[in-house]
Amino acid sequence: MHQVLVIEDDVDIRESLMDFLEDHGYQPVGAGHGQEALQKLGGADLRPCLIILDLMMPVMDGRTFRQQQLMRPGLSEIPVLIMSASREVEKTAKELGTVGHLPKPLDLPTLLEVVRDHCVPA
């Protein structure tokens, strides 16, 4: 089963996204901020085909997470999709070299298309 890492500090949004992904044949893994996500990615059993990343989070925001991810061999090639309510989301996505961006609130059919582009459901 293909894993998708959802990094989002809002528990309701994170859980809803994870339920949605699970309903469509993916194995979602959640993290509440970038530091938690990096810790999970450091384990041997998590190799997602896509990371869905919120930008605005406490502890470690999305921009810092992406910068850290890019510096780590084995993690830097995992594609990242940014989601944010920020008006600067498109510019930030380009600056961080992500595969794309989606504004919040998320359009779930569009999200599913992006996930399917990077992950084949089991």
Please state the domain extents for the chain: 3-118
Percent of the chain residues past pLDDT 90, beyond the cut: 74
- Supply the pLDDT for residue 104: 87
Q: What does the pLDDT average to over 29-41? A: 95
- Supply the pLDDT for residue 45: 83
Tokens of 47: 């190799």
Measuring CA to CA, which residue among 74, 118, 83, 76 is closest to residue 104? 83
30 contacts: CB under 8 Å, gap ≥ 6:
5, 6, 7, 8, 14, 15, 18
Place of tokens 């780590």: 72
CA dihedral (3, 39, 31, 44) in degrees, to 10, reads 20
Is 121's pLDDT higher than 70?
Answer: no
Pairwise pLDDT comparison (11 vs 73), residue with the higher score: 11
Domain 3-118 of CATH type 3.40.50.2300: yes
Pairwise pLDDT comparison (113 vs 121), residue with the higher score: 113
Is the CB of residue 109 less than 8 Å from the CB of residue 14? Answer: no
Is the CB of residue 15 less than 8 Å from the CB of residue 30? Answer: yes
Chain center to CA of 21: 12
Return the half-sphere exposure (C-beta side, CA atoms, 13 A cut-off) of residue 46.
18
Q: What would the pLDDT profile of 79-114 be if each residue is shown by its tens digit?
A: 999 998 888 888 888 999 999 999 988 899 999 999
